[in-house]
Chains A and B, each alone.
Chain A
Amino acid sequence: MGADSKQAQPVLSIEHIAVHFGGLVAISDMNFVVNQGEVVGLIGPNGAGKTTAFNVITGFLRPTEGEVRYRGSSLKNLKPHEVTSLGLARTFQRTSVFQSISVFENVMIGLHRRGRSRLWDTLLALPRERQSESELKARAGEILALVGIERRSRELAGSLPYGDQRLLGVALALAADPSMLLLDEPVSGMNATETTRFMNLLDQLRRLGITILLVEHDMPTVMGVSDRIVVLNYGRIIAEGPPAAIQGNPEVIRAYLGQGARKRARD
């Protein structure tokens, strides 16, 4: 895999990103790339700057320095919805669905950018409005079937079990028709069955050619699905490489388990 990814084309590149909140350095000089079709895991202990990195990439946060490039174009000064328009969609750690709306309507909202009707079509109920709506509805059905919650489409999103809500969160991101997905801790809080289901979905997305960057706490999950792993600690990248290499990396072990653990491991 390593040789493959070197030849592959980088789609997302993080170049010298730094984020300071006042005096606090959340991220300092972060550099990494994600290649076409790759699944990259971004890991690190709590507070390492993973979610901050996500927010910078998707335009929710302006970096203090550096820039993010996606498929050759700079994301500098783009608003989040403009970043999404370029094909870069994300999910959120917690509130990732519109709680008081039905599952189906959630996905319909997600399909916003694919709608073709203009204001006049809507106000005058022109044929294009109906046509666009029925296309969106068909597409929403497909997406729900893809993530496997089509039978719940009439239920309120907020009443779904936790795992299904996370799947719906992914469905929402997929509805924006992304070429790359950023998943923020997608399996945190899921039980084993739900996690397995989610892993299968990730596999399917990868086969569809969607590039994935994944922030995750759960080590076995990350190790299992990622082609490559980037490890962050205190806002710096401390290691990068295929899962097997990361697992044995002393820096990583120290970051996760603390100084003492490393000494004990050496002794």
Chain B
Amino acid sequence: MKRFLPWIALLALASVPMWLRDPYLLNAFITTGIFIVAAMSLNLLLGYTGQLSLGHVAFFGIGAYTSALVSLGFDVELIGGFRVVHEPWPVWLGFFLAILVSGLCGYIVGKLSFRVRGAYFVIVTISFAEVVRLVALNWVELTQGPLALTSIPPITLGLPGLGYFDFFSKQSNFYLVLGVVALSYVIIGRLVNSRIGRAMVALKENESLAVSVGIDVTRYLVLAAVVSAGIAGAAGSLYAHYLKIIDPDVFLFLYTVTMVIMVITGGKGTLAGPIVGGLIFGFIPVVARSFASPELQWILYGWFMILIVFVLPQGIVPAIEKWFGVGEEARGPGGTEPKMQETH
């Protein structure tokens, strides 16, 4: 049963555009999905290596800007009169470059800050996000600053023999985002259920013990940061090409907080946690909007968050797993418990 659950969930979600015609709700699904991808990437760091990145939105925003600029083209003058002119490239290339550039930033932040842990890491990541936001705001020649980058083209895919396909409609964007969610789920799932994931969990649990069994701390923390930043960059790219406009507000601290809320309430350190938490907190504003005034909407949002954290401090997914008695099998790194040791 447990094995088929992700497939059932995927099929159920894939059916949504077939019966849901309301563009407002479909839009909510798409933006929620994009934030779920970002939350999943945050979960890799926070839930598995135990490092809280409060500047995670930086990777998201860098992905958004990279992807937008690559596909829009730019013309900037650097120090010394040196000009860089970039002609627009295909959008799918922008998507991959977004992952690459964000991943690279993850590498740099990881290398810089994994000498420090805990509170210091949090501060380094917040500062990084703030610096990047200020660059986006003030480097007007490149980013248009507060005027925003506009008319960002939708993602297009050229399939040989089938012609071009562009993700312009809400339906197609829904499937694109769902595809990226599924792919991120698989990538993160394979990582954390392997020797690499065990190393990450070991570092979270007891660093000196992890080191003493021969695990190279820095290596696995940086690896987690790179993969996490890369996936966040992919989410940012989706965001830019779906909304078709981005401004320095994509670096708002509020977005990081939203991701953290999704991860914590859903259950950090579980694969499904950010998805469950993301769906709940992506849709609370949507549902609340239908009957509550704007002030009340946020009160409900906060109230729900506090309720979940109080009643289920471990998060929703671990609580459900415990309820059905599948906790240990599903949660520990390495996934299913092997039968091997029974024979000894």
Contact = CB atoms under 8 A, between A and B. Distances in A.
B189 to A, nearest CB: 10
B199 interface: yes
Contacts of A90: 212
Interface stretch (B20-28, B151-159, B214-222, B284-292): B214-222
A196 B187 CA distance: 47
B194 A129 contact: yes
A122 B187 CA distance: 9
B337 A104 contact: yes
Contacts of B341: 104, 137, 140-141, 144-145, 150, 153
Contacts of A110: 213
A109 B210 contact: yes
Contacts of B187: 123
Q: How large is the interface on A (under 10, 10 to 19, 20 to 34, 35 or more residues)?
A: 35 or more
Of residues B194, B212, B343, which shows the largest number of chain A Cβ atoms within 10 Å of its Cβ?
B212
Interface string B16-52: 0000000000000000000000000000000000000
A119 B219 CA distance: 12
Interface in A66-125: 79-81, 84-85, 89-90, 92, 95-102, 104-105, 108-110, 112-113, 115, 117, 119, 122-123, 125
Given A80-B212, A110-B213, A154 B196 contact: no
Per DSSP, are chain B's interface residues mostly helix, strand or loop, or mixed? helix
Interface string B207-232: 01111111111000001000000000
Contacts, number: 125
Interface in B136-190: 187, 190
Given A60-B208, A122-B191, A112 B215 contact: yes
A79 B210 CA distance: 12
Nearest to B215: A112
Contact of A96 (B191, B195, B209, B214): B209
Interface string B319-343: 0000000001000111001101101
A115 B206 contact: no
A29 interface: no
A125 B194 CA distance: 10
B205 interface: yes
Contacts of A102: 328, 332, 337
Of residues B196, B211, B213, B216, which shows the largest number of chain A Cβ atoms within 10 Å of its Cβ?
B213
Given A109-B201, A123-B190, A156 B328 contact: yes
A120 B67 CA distance: 25
Interface residues of B, number: 33
B115 interface: no
A182 to B, nearest CB: 10
B35 to A, nearest CB: 24
Nearest to A116: B195
Of residues A60, A81, A117, A173, which shows the largest number of chain B Cβ atoms within 10 Å of its Cβ?
A81
A92 B205 contact: no
A173 B212 contact: yes
Contacts of B216: 79, 81
23 contacts: A60-B208, A79-B216, A84-B214, A85-B214, A89-B213, A89-B214, A92-B208, A99-B205, A102-B332, A105-B334, A109-B198, A109-B199, A112-B195, A112-B199, A112-B202, A112-B215, A115-B195, A117-B195, A119-B223, A122-B196, A132-B195, A137-B340, A141-B340
Interface of A: 58, 60, 79-81, 84-85, 89-90, 92, 95-102, 104-105, 108-110, 112-113, 115, 117, 119, 122-123, 125, 129, 132-134, 136-138, 140-142, 144-145, 150, 153-154, 156, 172-173, 175-176
